[in-house]
Amino acid sequence: MGSKSRSAGTTIAAPPSVVFAILSDPRQHTRIDGSGTVRATVSGPERLELGSEFGMDMKNGAKYKIKNKVVEFEPDRLIAWRHKGKHRWRYELTPTNGGGTQVVETWDLAHYDPVSRAALKALFGSRTQKALDETMVKLKAAAEADAAG
């Protein structure tokens, strides 16, 4: 994806099933949100699957609601969703030899034309990278706590 995205990754001392359980449960997204904008889940299933829709209460300056749809899904390996914009939030999970999980989160802009993609990266790229990095920290802590508990 390269110039068409921003990504962050980490290795988590928990199996992919534990990590995926957090990612596929929209009620846990406030627990791992590194952006500080996700406030609460307002609608959606307890476990996401391909085509699932879920709504979130958000705050980025002003409060607003957003509806997302799962557009990529492979249990314990991959989940991605998007809202009305064309960008996707993607999580790719790879098992490690030690029983853990390598996770990469990507803010994927590949579905935009080059001009729109450049504008979004200029406006939101730096802030989004910080959020991705912080989400990895929170996801790691949450999954390792769940695996230990």
What does residue 94 show for φ and ψ, rounded to 5 degrees?
A: -130, 125
Q: Which two tokens stand for residue 50?
A: 């391909």
With residue 53 as reference, give the H or E element that holds it: strand 53-60
Average pLDDT for 128-147 = 96
Task: Determine whether 4 is exposed, middle or buried from the number of CB atoms within 10 Å of its CB (0-12, 13-18, 19+).
Answer: middle
Angle at 46 between CA 44 and CA 50, to 5 degrees: 70
CA dist 128 and 37 (Å) reads: 11
Q: Report pLDDT digits (tens) over 36-78.
A: 888 887 789 999 999 999 998 888 889 888 899 999 999 999 9
The pLDDT assigned to 7 comes to 95
pLDDT at 28 over 60: yes
Q: Report pLDDT digits (tens) over 83-118.
A: 888 899 999 999 999 999 999 999 999 999 999 999
Residues paired with 69 in a beta bridge:
53, 82
- Of 1, 15, 13, 43, nearest in space to 132 by CA: 1
pTM here is: 0.93
What does residue 147 show for φ and ψ, rounded to 5 degrees?
A: -70, -35
CA dist 93 and 33 (Å) reads: 17
Q: CB-based contacts of 127: which residues, under 8 Å, 6+ apart?
A: 35
Average pLDDT, the chain: 93
